[in-house]
Amino acid sequence: MFDDKRSKKVLLIAHCILNQNAKINHCAHYPGAIREVAQILIDAGIGILQMPCPELLCLGIDRQVKSGLHPTVESEDTRVARRMNEDQAITICRKIVDDLVYQLVEYRKNEFKLVGVIGINGSPTCGVETTWTNNQDTQGAGVFIQILDEECRKRGISLAMRGIKAYEPLRAIATVVNLLENTLV
């Protein structure tokens, strides 16, 4: 089935890799996509499944910051981390994950290759190797990636997960190239 030009390879990426407009204030490092990473993915000929931005769906683009306040990025990340662990946010994250897992199951059923997931390290929500707690970058995954990982494991879906940071483009390129080299063999 699917006898056409498609590669039958799909990679999940954090929303803000293609759309920095979704970032919290002072955290967008590109006008739109993280250019270098987007170019590698386009050139690799894989399908790019842009996951929704959980923080935007839970808290809005301004993350419900109180008007008139001028918080630091660090204190905002800590506040957002707390909000994203509230029941309502967890419920929304679970719904997003359910929708994604449905798509993954469909792809797998039809023998597409699931290349993996690229998240955003240091994010309280989409971090893979590091997340954000108590005003600092800490080891561990963000709340959304944790839920995605748990659900995939339950369904027996094996996904390589890697994190990048928009302000470290050379490191991000190396990480993405490494993921593609290890999974597209």
Q: How far is the CB of 14 from ligand SF4 (least distance, A)?
A: 4
Q: How far is the CB of 9 from ligand SF4 (least distance, A)?
A: 22
* Closer Cβ to ligand SF4, 25 or 39, answer by number: 25
* Closer Cβ to ligand SF4, 112 or 143, answer by number: 143
- Is residue 117 classed as helix, strand or coil in its secondary structure? strand
Q: How far is the CB of 136 from ligand SF4 (least distance, A)?
A: 17
Are 54 and 144 in contact, with CB atoms under 8 Å apart? yes
Contacts (Cβ under 8 Å, ≥6 apart) of 161: 116, 117, 118, 119, 128, 141, 145, 149
Are 42 and 1 in contact, with CB atoms under 8 Å apart? no
> Can you give the binding site for ligand SF4, defined by CB under 6 A?
14-16, 22-23, 53-56, 120, 123, 125-126
* Closer Cβ to ligand SF4, 63 or 112, answer by number: 63
Contacts (Cβ under 8 Å, ≥6 apart) of 164: 17, 34, 37, 118, 119, 120, 121, 171, 172, 175, 176
* Closer Cβ to ligand SF4, 100 or 126, answer by number: 126
Q: How far is the CB of 131 from ligand SF4 (least distance, A)?
A: 10
* Closer Cβ to ligand SF4, 56 or 148, answer by number: 56
* Radius of gyration from C-alpha coordinates of the chain: 16
Q: How far is the CB of 24 from ligand SF4 (least distance, A)?
A: 7
Q: Within 10 A of 26 (CB to CB), how many other CB atoms are there?
A: 9
| Separation between Cα atoms, residue 53 and residue 104, nearest integer Å | 18
